[in-house]
Chains A and B, each alone.
Chain A
């Protein structure tokens, strides 16, 4: 399937200069504006061309796992080729994941609002590349379904709809956007993770090879297909090419979503958002992420390899800054309580270990912890990782371990004289309220 030719008066624009790529402005782009800014969706020689270009670009997934996008494309294309029934095209499925269940992240919502057509281009291109006959665009409360439906209708009228894209509302819940949980929802099941194997690339939605990509990744693919891998790599770092969207929040003057070249140091990224001098730490990745001290970690590059070297990760691109006056242990305790509430409850270690971890953190943050509580918390952080069907327990364990490390001074004060002043203050990081105990039984 190929793109239709556009009217001659619309010329193809040169690639966007400078470092703003995905987010070209502050207003949503209509289809005509989108085409006038980026050019029409390119006509490629064949599916292999896109896959090769994405592989050359070094694009990694922007949903949190940072898996090489080219490799995922190739895996799904191969699985679809092997399992497709002869004469039946369109065996695979593309899922655009804009669920954004991470409370501290807003980048997917902003991208879907401002540049929905980039995402839809990415979907169409990937569908061609893997041989998919249908696609799902999953947005939670993060994307307006009506605006997306309007964008799809626009493309329909312009004759650009090469594939049926079904809009789906991701249900509430921290795990709903997780890859296998989302596929479970699409298959009519509960929003709970499933055991892997089989991977979605082998057997996902409707038991077909399914390509699940974050909406930002798909938008990047929409650009790579137009301007090439070289162009993509012209910005960013050699080990982390391209740009990425980050959500900066907390004690900064200009919180919000920014597009940054990967590899820019943390201090600079935060300065762009108006970093207040009194920041003590930053939570990177998401609520399942890691604390880094400020200004100590200012020179850490904002990229997957850069953050990993510092014991953190880019994750969902969350950078939540903690002011000096707040208590990192209290924030962590609240987040851990939230994560524990959000557990699917399917795996013993998580079902048992997460409430224990939340309780221990509560004691550490709001009580006067003795050495046994601290020892127990440390033991739990070693006991949880790698023992669940998803990475929720890993994330919580990593969060708590980093908090105990980064806020060691607060920890000493708490053990000596109970909770500090900051612990009694208002929460900095927004944590949805947990239901009353009775509600829990409804899960």
Chain B
């Protein structure tokens, strides 16, 4: 959060190491998830170089997915343990039941559930049958944007420049690779590919507009559903800053 003077001091003294840990692990998890998704896309377009064989892409994809899950688990745990806001463990699994920013935390729960499903099914891949595995794996295209939205909507760091730049870079990487993937699919299936491209462009524009009118506009924490005392504590800091 930008700002100087006493307002910042209020913010600094009211945060705990757990809150920092939640934000940090959340951001790192997002970067790892993006990297994993990027490698998955590279694998689907059969990316290969003389010094970068297919199995490197696949191996990294698997390892980074597991790392992303690990960081997400820590992110969930630090959030639950942080007493400043009451977010019990079930809020991390069952979407939209949280009292704190229900929609945005709920999106996090959805992304987390999908991550667990993706990883568990991939560990059991050879026992599952290709069609069922593939069906679940397609939800990665849902998991990642939901995670990004969760980060933007819940994250108190969203208005900071470097977080915006980081998130924008992640979105750019995935958008470019997905377009590459769709370009590969286009000869065989022109209609679904074109529809997907249009959807992506529309989502990017809508996402940008929402970002501008939402998290980057004043009083976002209240509008996001930060309730009562928490809202007072956080928005007080925000008011202090915006003045």
Does a CB–CB distance below 8 Å link A and B in the complex?
no
A interface residues (Cβ-Cβ under 8 A, vs B): none
B interface residues (Cβ-Cβ under 8 A, vs A): none
